[in-house]
A = this chain, B = another copy of it.
């Protein structure tokens, strides 16, 4: 279906005369404000539409989703992204890991993302690891060197069993612990022998309170005797609020009974289809979870699986263009524009304002009229205390402009976290937040409405 020479034409295309302006990655942005402005030969720029929209839509969506999870979890919790297996293929998983980190997660279980992007790696073992063991006899090398010492414990398995006996006879825990599952115990011991400094046990393969916790504690106490500190446990099923509180009580009992300072604070990680709502519910119930591992709902953005970022032609050959629609929210804002964020006295962003490219920028201390782009009566005067121009140059084309540097991932993440902290709290409320205002200058307002009336046909009532 293609004429001769079309592929040659495609092959010859390059983007050297395309200018790209964008709001820096990790910025808080609002509907209607262009995230990018792309200028150049129309055929080339049109070919960029799908790649840009594809790359920005999911990235922005999943970063936002991660930031929302962070917001509900609170600053003190550790958030781990565990979503690779539920993402849209390997690349979807890599994108999710990267942008969840930007959105405020602390680490990922996606090893490839750790290697490629330098994201901290965290994870625990699997249920399959536990059930791959049968008995303690399977542990061939039972020796473990004492931490920071040359002496070695020759039979770590026996040491664990001794501690398990003590726990089962403990006064304060009497009746809590049953006969524990031996394949689980064998798995925990093997894991601790391989990673004595990193012992984090998944305790729900059989029964958390009756088997997983006593097995974990026996190994942790044995490790402690050799100078190591167990990291903690992971709960992956059941009533996480209740179980985490029960487990915390047991840890505190053991700290007291065996004089093990700090054992009460052993880390509790929770996973199992967590999302914003379950985090919120956990907070309301009260819980003792320190770290959340979140996968499915995070990387698939289950609560809203798509973001509707679009690419619109707003000017061609210096002529402004508008896309009309019966649905006002779909009418595009014409013209090559500049965008400013205006800050108020208290340091919060007050409003974003779009102006025509050639209008003078808003000035600190000078009153400026900000108008809703479509609703005539919605307008306000603002006297900004600080003015930030949002679009920066990332590809200069032939303009000779200075190109913004591309910061490392860590800096983008920090920017994102700081930007969210800088927002006025009522804009960030989960229920009925105050809408943040997005406006146009008086001049741009008049022009939009002139163009709109000019392009739209007049109806005829019959």
Q: Say yes or no: A126 contacts B85, CB within 8 Å.
A: no
Residues from chain B with a CB closer than 8 A to the CB of A462 are 175
CB under 8 Å from chain B, chain A span 268-311: 296-297, 300-302, 305-308, 311
Q: Say yes or no: A54 contacts B457, CB within 8 Å.
A: no
Q: Say yes or no: B134 contacts A319, CB within 8 Å.
A: yes
Q: How far is the CA of A128 from the CA of B181 in the complex (A)?
A: 65
Cross-interface CB contact of A57 among B54, B86, B312, B326, cutoff 8 Å? B86
Q: How far is the CA of A84 from the CA of B55 in the complex (A)?
A: 10
Interface presence of A206 (CB below 8 A): yes
Interface presence of A131 (CB below 8 A): yes
Q: Say yes or no: B96 contacts A206, CB within 8 Å.
A: no
CB under 8 Å from chain B, chain A span 390-437: none
Interface presence of A42 (CB below 8 A): yes
Cross-interface CB contact of A312 among B128, B134, B321, B326, cutoff 8 Å? B128
Say whether, besides A132-B316, A300-B305, A326-B237, A211 and B89 are in contact (CB < 8 Å). no
CB under 8 Å from chain B, chain A span 198-214: 198, 204-207, 210-211
Interface presence of A129 (CB below 8 A): yes
Copies in the complex: 2
Closest Cβ of chain B to A225, distance in Å, is 23
Q: Say yes or no: A313 contacts B1, CB within 8 Å.
A: no
Q: Say yes or no: B88 contacts A88, CB within 8 Å.
A: yes
Q: Say yes or no: A49 contacts B126, CB within 8 Å.
A: yes
| Minimal Cβ-Cβ distance residue in B for A62 | B88
Say whether, besides A91-B91, A132-B313, A134-B319, A85 and B206 are in contact (CB < 8 Å). no
Residues from chain B with a CB closer than 8 A to the CB of A313 are 127-128, 131-132
Say whether, besides A42-B132, A296-B308, A88 and B90 are in contact (CB < 8 Å). no
Q: Say yes or no: A206 contacts B457, CB within 8 Å.
A: yes
Q: Say yes or no: A323 contacts B92, CB within 8 Å.
A: no
Q: How far is the CA of A232 from the CA of B375 in the complex (A)?
A: 36
Residues from chain B with a CB closer than 8 A to the CB of A126 are 46, 49
| Minimal Cβ-Cβ distance residue in B for A175 | B462
Closest Cβ of chain B to A299, distance in Å, is 8
Q: Besides the contacts A1-B198, A207-B457, what 6 more A-B pairs have beta carbons closer than 8 Å?
A: A1-B195, A54-B89, A86-B307, A88-B92, A132-B321, A296-B306
Chosen A-B contacts, 5 in total, with CB atoms closer than 8 Å, are A57-B86, A87-B92, A131-B323, A178-B460, A210-B459
